[in-house]
Amino acid sequence: MITYRAASLNDIETLSAMRVAMLCEEEDYNSCFQETLRRNTSEYLRKGINDNSVSLWVAAADDKIIAMCCLSYFYLPPNELCMNGKSAHLGNMYTLPEYRRQGIASRLLKLVVDEAIRLEYKIVRLHTSADGKSIYGKMGFVDTGGFMKLTV
């Protein structure tokens, strides 16, 4: 059975390693770069959880984290699409290869979008791989020629 939950500080090292694995699927990074990336990601996520500038959600199968998604919060000057300036960047959407194509990422995406809505963030932006584009389109994200966005 797959369960979904907010990540905790105890999950940081697993999530950092998963992020490195995600990025290494697209680029062949050397081990020194990978270790620096893992360490810096751990610091970023720890800080973000502690100061509430990041929401992390995970899917787990038998207590093993199999997928993750991160929402980072920031402010932009108010504009016609976002009068309160509250914006979010969705990143690190990753599912272990053996668990893909089972709707897990879609469920995580819904959880983080619901979180953004609950916190009154009006814009959710992301960059995506070609493989990921369809999942975001199904949720209502629009390609703006450089990033995808969802206005909520």
**Looking at 38-113, which runs of residues are DSSP E strands?**
54-61, 64-75, 86-95
Per-residue pLDDT tens over the stretch 64-74: 999 999 999 98
Q: What total number of domains does the chain contain? A: 1
Average pLDDT over residues 107-117: 92
Residue 43 is predicted with a pLDDT of 97
In this predicted structure, what is the pLDDT of residue 15? 97
Look up tokens 């770069």; give the residue.
33
CA 142/CA 139 separation, integer angstroms? 9
Q: What is the predicted pLDDT for the residue at 96?
A: 95
Residue 20: the pLDDT is 95
pTM summary value? 0.87
Per-residue model confidence as pLDDT tens digits over 4-17? 999 999 999 999 99
Q: Any idea which of 41-45, 84-88, 117-121, 132-136 has the lowest mean pLDDT?
A: 132-136
Strands 123-126 and 142-143 come out as unpaired
Interatomic CA distance for residues 115 and 64, integer angstroms:
23
pLDDT at 130: 76
Which residues constitute the domain of residue 127? 2-151
Residue 150, pLDDT above cutoff 90: no
Predicted confidence (pLDDT) per residue in 15-68, tens digit: 999 999 999 988 889 999 999 999 999 999 999 999 999 999 999 999 899 999
Is-contact 55 71, C-beta < 8 A? yes
**The domain spanning residue 50 has which CATH number?**
3.40.630.30
pLDDT score of 152? 72
